[in-house]
């Protein structure tokens, strides 16, 4: 429990460090806000002087002089308000720049371990919420609130009754603000949750729209979407009704109070305890004294959302940045898997049990087995995407977690089962968006994957843009371009998960040639396969069953044993 508190304190300290980085801006905003609030006295003082000095004296010169001074002060106030708004905008950008990269790196790290997790995008939306609030004029209410006692004090100088009335109204509005926060907290949290569910469902429907259309599921999915939408609208409506109710009460109180101050001032004038100028000046000061409180109530929903977003960000980020690892030379000698066991994310159920494999340069391992036997999990573990529960994966004797992820990624080529094309050109996809790509290495990888001629026949060639998901490319073209991406830069370890699922006969030949090419230059290849054609170029085979190693050895020996088992128990093996 103590460690958890220390971790939470460290995380909050990091966030407040981001705020403190802009303390100069905040101090400037505080000073400018003070000047603005002092200049707010211009209007009531001007009115007081006009009624109590100009009208009795009927002096036009005095009126012109007072008007000129007031106009100049109004212009200065306007400049200060623009200045304050621009500073807050920069402050919001500063917070985003300090926290955004860390949040995005954490998003990528968590997304690599849990690809379907939704916390990452929500964290970026939370950062947008926080930035939007600290950049808005709603934040100025908190800088103006400390000046409310000044206006009340001035009204007390006019008459104690006026000061007491305004102080009572301000206190009541503050109580109303607290009630607003208490009543809206749960609604705000629920609104974020149901909106996230609706957004995730919408993204899923958009991503799988062709499949939904082909399966005749559009109407059903539309009904399910409508259910989530109604739930989202119900929560949003409830929150809006609550905010409207409190806002209406606040506006009613402010209007009644201002009218009451005017009436009280008139009563004092009749009793000759105040002048007409005092009456009107007190009315203006009451409006100014209540304005920050009223602004806080009007924007309390955004404040509550920003506060909850801030809390979620603190919970989302790890306690500290990962420490920089000592750089290691690129692996080129061996890959050894020892007693590897991996559990399903978020559970204790093991997917792999005590897998042992040793691979030397120039070798190629084929991994086969029934669906759900752990083949893809094994591939993800080899490239550092699945954390072992026990056991270790070593490259050149160094455990995989001793490598910087980016440095390790450059030494590994990975072709996942679900192929993704990044939003960019074909060349950028193959070169992994290398800022200084090697044209020869680009074409060499494309030729090794057998896709060079295919790309040249496309409009634009290597400079043709493909959208997210590889729009405009066939399944086979995406798979061969992804294979070229895995081969770019001659990585030492190449892991291919179902690399021929969308390939034709020519593609199978190109795949075999690519595996042979990696072996010829001293690299190591791991091929996850269902189709036998993918095993043509491997020299060893690992058979997995229910997450355990069933067979492992030279390709021909393992295939012979599998053939014997098939002849003995054809029904069970099938």
Alpha carbon distance 574, 571 (integer Å): 5
Helix (H) / strand (E) element for 351: namely strand 350-359
Q: Which strand ranges, in their side-by-side order, compose the sheet holding 335-343? A: 350-359, 335-343, 390-395, 398-399
For the segment 99-129, what is each residue's pLDDT rounded down to a tens digit? Answer: 888 888 888 877 776 655 555 578 888 888 8
Q: Which three-class secondary structure string do you get for 198-217?
A: HHHHHHHHHHCHHHHHHCCC
Of 405, 414, 381, 430, the C-alpha closest to 494 is 414
Tokens of 46: 């001007």
CA atoms 78, 83, 88, 90: torsion sign: positive
CA atoms 491, 495, 500, 501: torsion sign: negative
Q: Which three-class secondary structure string do you get for 95-122?
A: HHHHHHHHHHHHHHHHHHHCCCCCHHHH
For 548, phi and psi rounded to 5 degrees?
-120, 155
Q: What was the pLDDT predicted at 361? A: 93
Please report, in tens digits, the pLDDT of each residue of the chain (574 residues total): 455 555 555 556 666 666 777 788 888 999 999 999 889 888 888 888 888 888 888 888 888 998 999 999 999 999 999 999 999 988 888 888 888 888 888 888 777 766 555 555 788 888 888 888 888 888 888 888 888 888 888 888 888 898 888 888 888 877 877 777 787 777 777 887 888 788 888 888 887 787 778 778 888 888 888 988 888 888 888 878 777 777 778 778 878 888 888 888 888 888 888 888 888 888 888 888 888 877 777 777 788 788 888 888 888 877 666 666 778 888 888 899 999 999 887 777 888 999 999 999 999 999 998 888 889 899 999 988 888 889 999 998 888 888 888 888 888 999 988 888 888 889 999 999 888 888 999 999 999 998 999 999 888 899 988 866 555 788 888 889 999 999 999 999 999 998 887 777 777 888 888 999 999 999 999 999 877 777 888 999 999 988 899 889 898 888 888 877 766 655 443 3
Alpha carbon distance 109, 77 (integer Å): 48
Q: What was the pLDDT predicted at 114? A: 64
Q: Residue 448: is it exposed, middle or buried by C-beta count within 10 angstroms (0-12/13-18/19+)?
A: buried
For the segment 195-247, what is each residue's pLDDT rounded down to a tens digit? Answer: 878 888 888 888 778 777 877 888 888 888 898 888 888 888 887 877 777 77
pTM of the model: 0.72
């Amino acid at each position: 429990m103590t460690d958890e508190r220390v971790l939470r304190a460290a995380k909050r300290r990091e966030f407040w460090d981001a705020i403190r980085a802009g303390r100069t801006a905040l101090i400037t905003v505080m000073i400018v806000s003070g000047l603005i609030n002092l200049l707010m006295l211009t209007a009531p003082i001007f009115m007081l002087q006009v009624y109590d000095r100009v009208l009795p004296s009927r002096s036009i010169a005095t009126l012109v002089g007072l008007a000129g001074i007031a106009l100049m002060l109004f212009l200065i106030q306007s400049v200060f308000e623009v200045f304050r708004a621009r500073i807050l905008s920069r402050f919001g950008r500063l917070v985003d720049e300090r926290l955004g990269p860390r949040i995005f790196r954490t998003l990528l790290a968590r997304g690599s371990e849990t690809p379907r997790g939704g916390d990452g995008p929500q964290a970026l939306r939370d950062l947008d919420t926080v930035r939007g609030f600290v950049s808005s004029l709603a934040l100025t209410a908190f800088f103006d609130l400390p000046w409310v006692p000044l206006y009340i004090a001035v009204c007390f100088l006019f008459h104690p009754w006026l000061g007491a009335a305004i102080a009572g109204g301000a206190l009541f509005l503050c109580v109303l603000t607290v009630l607003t926060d208490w009543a809206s907290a749960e609604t705000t949290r629920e609104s974020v949750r149901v909106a996230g569910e609706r957004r995730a469902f919408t993204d899923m429907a958009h991503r799988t729209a062709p499949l939904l259309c082909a399966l005749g599921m559009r109407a059903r999915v539309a009904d399910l979407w409508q259910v989530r939408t109604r739930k989202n609208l119900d929560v949003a409506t409830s929150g809006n009704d609550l905010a409207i109710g409190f806002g209406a009460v606040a506006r009613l109180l402010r209007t009644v109070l201002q009218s009451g101050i005017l009436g009280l001032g008139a009563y004092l004038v009749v009793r000759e305890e105040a002048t007409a100028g005092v009456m009107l000046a007190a009315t203006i000061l009451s409006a100014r004294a209540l304005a920050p409180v009223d602004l806080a109530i009007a924007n309390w929903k955004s404040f509550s959302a920003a506060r909850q977003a801030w809390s979620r960000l603190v919970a989302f980020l790890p306690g500290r940045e990962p420490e920089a690892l000592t750089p290691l030379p690129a692996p080129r000698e061996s890959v050894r898997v020892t007693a590897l066991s991996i559990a399903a994310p978020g559970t204790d159920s093991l997917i792999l049990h005590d897998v042992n494999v040793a691979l030397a340069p120039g070798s190629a391992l084929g991994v086969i087995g029934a669906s759900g036997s752990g083949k893809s999990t094994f591939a993800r573990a080899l490239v550092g995407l699945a954390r072992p529960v026990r056991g270790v994966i070593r490259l050149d004797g160094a455990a995989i977690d001793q490598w910087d992820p980016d440095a390790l990624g450059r030494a590994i080529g990975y072709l996942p089962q679900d192929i993704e094309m990044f939003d960019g050109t074909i060349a950028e996809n193959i070169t992994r968006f290398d800022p200084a790509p090697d044209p020869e290495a680009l074409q060499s990888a494309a030729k090794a994957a057998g896709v060079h001629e295919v790309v040249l026949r496309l409009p634009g060639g290597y400079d043709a843009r493909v959208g997210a998901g590889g729009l405009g490319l066939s399944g086979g073209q995406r798979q061969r371009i992804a294979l070229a991406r895995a081969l770019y830069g001659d990585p030492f370890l190449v892991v291919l998960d179902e690399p021929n699922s969308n390939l034709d006969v020519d593609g199978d030949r190109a795949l075999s040639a690519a595996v042979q090419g990696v072996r010829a230059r001293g690299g190591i290849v791991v091929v996850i396969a269902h189709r036998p054609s993918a095993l043509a170029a491997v020299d060893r085979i690992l058979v997995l069953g229910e997450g355990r190693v069933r067979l492992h050895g030279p390709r021909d020996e393992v295939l012979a044993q599998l053939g014997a088992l098939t002849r003995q128990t054809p029904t069970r093996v099938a």
